[in-house]
Amino acid sequence: MIVRISRGIYPPSRHAEFTARMTAAGKTLIPAIQRLTGCVSYFAATDEMSSTMVNVSVWETLEQAQAMTTLPEMGALAKEFMALGAEFERPIINYSALWQIP
């Protein structure tokens, strides 16, 4: 199993806007991600205290996790967020899971 974590930071004064946009993004991202093979679980979240957002996903294999890098819907959303002032940590890390709680 692979745990993929993408993290971004946004201007603190725009938390409500980023949270609303992350929520709305599910309409296009959920179907796009579901078309990929190997996705076990996916979470999108924001945190007001740190002005950060994360996408955390679990995949069966590294190759399947890396398919996220070429997902057009995700690329378009990243550009939109950057235009609004977000900065993303790069590279995105794909962690090999050591254990889990089902």
What is d(CA 37, CA 31) in angstroms, rounded to the nearest whole number? 12
Question: How confident is the model at residue 51, as a pLDDT?
Answer: 98
Write the CA distances from 21 to 28, 47, 54, integer angstroms: 11, 14, 13
Write the CA distances from 68 to 11, 36, 39, 62, 91, integer angstroms: 25, 8, 10, 11, 13
Quick check: 14 and 84 in contact, CB under 8 A? yes
Q: Which helix (H) or strand (E) holds 53?
A: strand 52-59
- Three-class secondary structure of residue 64 per DSSP: helix
Structural domains of the chain sorted by starting position, each given as residue range(s) with its CATH number in brackets: 2-96 (3.30.70.100)
Tens digit of each residue's pLDDT, the chain (102 residues): 999 999 999 999 999 999 999 999 999 999 999 999 999 999 999 999 999 999 999 999 999 999 999 999 999 999 999 999 999 999 999 999 999 998
Exposed/middle/buried for 55, CB within 10 Å: 0-12, 13-18, 19+?
buried
Token pair belonging to 39: 């996705």
